[in-house]
Amino acid sequence: MQKLLIKGKRELSGKISISGSKNATLPILAASILAKEVRLKNIPLVKDIFTMIDLLNFIGLKTKIIKKSNIIEIKNNEKNINTLAPYKLVKTMRAGVLVLGSLLTKYGKAKVSLPGGCAIGTRPVDLHLFALKKLGAKIKIKNGYIFAEAKKGLKGTIINFPSISVGATENALLAACKAKGKTVLKNCAIEPEIKDLIFFLNKLGSIINFKGRTITIYENKLKSSNITHEVIFDRIELGTYMIACALLAKKNVIIDKIDPKIVKNEINVLKILGVKILKKKSSIIIKKKKKLKNINITTKPYPGFPTDLQAQLMVLLTQVEGVSKIKENIFENRFMHVPELKRMGAQIEIKDKTAIIKGPTKLTGAEVMATDLRASVCLVLAGLIAENRTIINRIYHLDRGYEFLERKLKNCKAEIKRI
């Protein structure tokens, strides 16, 4: 089993280029089922994306990845289509459930494995099914599978989500763009990745607009060929490297291929902490500051502070003077990195949904275990600032979502290698 070996306390300098967003690419890949020919640029070459591509191949689409330019070409010649998403593919990557909306709306039926829980929480799909039922789908759960049917097609309606879900908003959007009449989705997630999906669907011929948390989808014929789309940058990868630089930048580190407007809140949080950030049109420059201030923060749906950066921010807060608090408001079990950080010397206490972090504490290298994608990268950050050597086990979690992590960090003078 592969591990990461990090020698800590190396200052970072240079440039980091941000990859395409995993969480935007996944629903757009699921949306490609609705077209005949799609070419996606700026896709990140990470494990979750390859799993989704395997799923599209299983369904019967033809895919060609051009690795050196991060491009994928997808063709659907409508031959031997399988409206099934099997357990073996959905269990390793929950976003597999997103093919449900596309398959159902296009082919009138779908059988998709229930994804089940995962390390960070139970993560049900009731809101996905609630929306599809409202659109007229008949849904049964049997033998661990969702059986969905809409023989006469789906019908537009008003759907008011009882709580905000990224995946449920995406599945509802996919299903509604071939429904009859108008669909209005209320209380939606409005993450930039959802806006990128809407941008893609509009290229397909959908007419979708949004205002606040309401998305309206109008009935329209979809175009199917020659659709090219460049996926948005990965704002979570950007946030991760911003935090790494706030901890370790020697002079200035430039982070490029981004749009600072999309991460306004994350930049503000770091500025409140005292980190120096200079915004340019498609890049930022970060400077490490000696003394940072403590904060209290709660994770929220976009435009709030993302749960996907909670673990990374916690590492930064271990180096800040005073007591900081992070309330995790999205997932019920997302503090699994805390025992590992404590083993490295962090002083963190958990009370209900809140982590209380006392700083500054000196972290020392240790052998630690990654538990999920963002927890693993938080251990990388901890290893980078710790004294001596840190070994991170179970790094397959990291490979699910961070493209060229070691290469990007090594280019900035970090000492990190896979063993």
* Dist CA 364 CA 370 (whole Å): 17
Answer whether 293's CB lies under 8 Å from 320's CB: yes
Task: Single out the residue of 29, 61, 127, 414 in contact with ligand UD1 (rule: CB under 6 A).
Answer: 127
- Closest distance of CB 163 from ligand UD1, Å: 6
**Residue 137 DSSP symbol:** -
118 assigned to active site: yes
Which is closer to ligand UD1, CB of 166 or CB of 267? Answer: 166
Which is closer to ligand UD1, CB of 128 or CB of 288? Answer: 128
* Dist CA 414 CA 4 (whole Å): 12
What tokens does 56 get?
Answer: 């599209």
Which is closer to ligand UD1, CB of 136 or CB of 306? Answer: 306
Count of residues of this chain found to bind ligand UD1 when the rule CB under 6 A is applied? 21
Residue 329 burial (CB count, 10 A): 17
Cα dist from 270 to 3, 40, 334, 345, 359, whole Å = 30, 32, 21, 23, 16
* Dist CA 210 CA 198 (whole Å): 9
Q: Is 308 in the site for ligand UD1 (CB under 6 A)?
A: yes
The dihedral region occupied by 31, where left means phi > 0, alpha psi between -120 and 50, and beta the remainder, is: alpha
Q: Is 125 in the site for ligand UD1 (CB under 6 A)?
A: yes
* Dist CA 115 CA 125 (whole Å): 8
Which is closer to ligand UD1, CB of 8 or CB of 115? Answer: 115
- Closest distance of CB 330 from ligand UD1, Å: 5
Catalytic residue of the set 118, 188, 245, 378: 118
How far does Cα 103 stand from its chain's mean position? 22
Directed axis angle between helix 22-31 and helix 166-176, to 10°? 30
- Closest distance of CB 388 from ligand UD1, Å: 32
Q: Is 400 in the site for ligand UD1 (CB under 6 A)?
A: no
Q: Which stretch binds ligand UD1 (CB under 6 A): 63-71, 123-131, 290-298, 380-388?
A: 123-131
Answer whether 56's CB lies under 8 Å from 29's CB: yes
Which is closer to ligand UD1, CB of 44 or CB of 359? Answer: 44
Q: Is 124 in the site for ligand UD1 (CB under 6 A)?
A: yes
DSSP letters spanning 90-111: HTT-GGGGGHHHHHHHHHSEEE
Q: Which stretch binds ligand UD1 (CB under 6 A): 122-130, 245-253, 359-367, 407-415?
A: 122-130
Task: Single out the residue of 10, 106, 111, 128 in contact with ligand UD1 (rule: CB under 6 A).
Answer: 128
Residue 333 burial (CB count, 10 A): 15
Q: Which stretch binds ligand UD1 (CB under 6 A): 56-64, 279-287, 300-308, 346-354?
A: 300-308
DSSP letters spanning 306-375: -GGGHHHHHHHHTTSSEEEEEE--S-TT--THHHHHHHTT-EEEEETTEEEEEE----B--EEE--SHHH
Task: Single out the residue of 39, 41, 109, 123 in contact with ligand UD1 (rule: CB under 6 A).
Answer: 123
Q: Which stretch binds ligand UD1 (CB under 6 A): 72-80, 116-124, 270-278, 360-368?
A: 116-124
Which is closer to ligand UD1, CB of 133 or CB of 180? Answer: 133
Task: Single out the residue of 23, 76, 113, 283 in contact with ligand UD1 (rule: CB under 6 A).
Answer: 23
Q: Is 46 in the site for ligand UD1 (CB under 6 A)?
A: no
Instruction: Name the strands in the sheet holding 214-218, side by side, starting at the edge strand that comes first in the sequence.
Output: 158-160, 183-186, 214-218, 207-211
- Closest distance of CB 362 from ligand UD1, Å: 30
Q: Is 126 in the site for ligand UD1 (CB under 6 A)?
A: yes
Beta bridge partners of residue 223, listed in sequence order: none
Which is closer to ligand UD1, CB of 75 or CB of 195? Answer: 195
Give residues 158-197 in contact with ligand UD1 (rule: CB under 6 A): 165-168, 189
Q: Is 375 in the site for ligand UD1 (CB under 6 A)?
A: no
Judged by the rule CB under 6 A, the positions of this chain that interact with ligand UD1 are: 23, 26, 94-95, 121, 123-128, 165-168, 189, 306-308, 330-331
> Could you give the residue numbers annotated as active site?
118
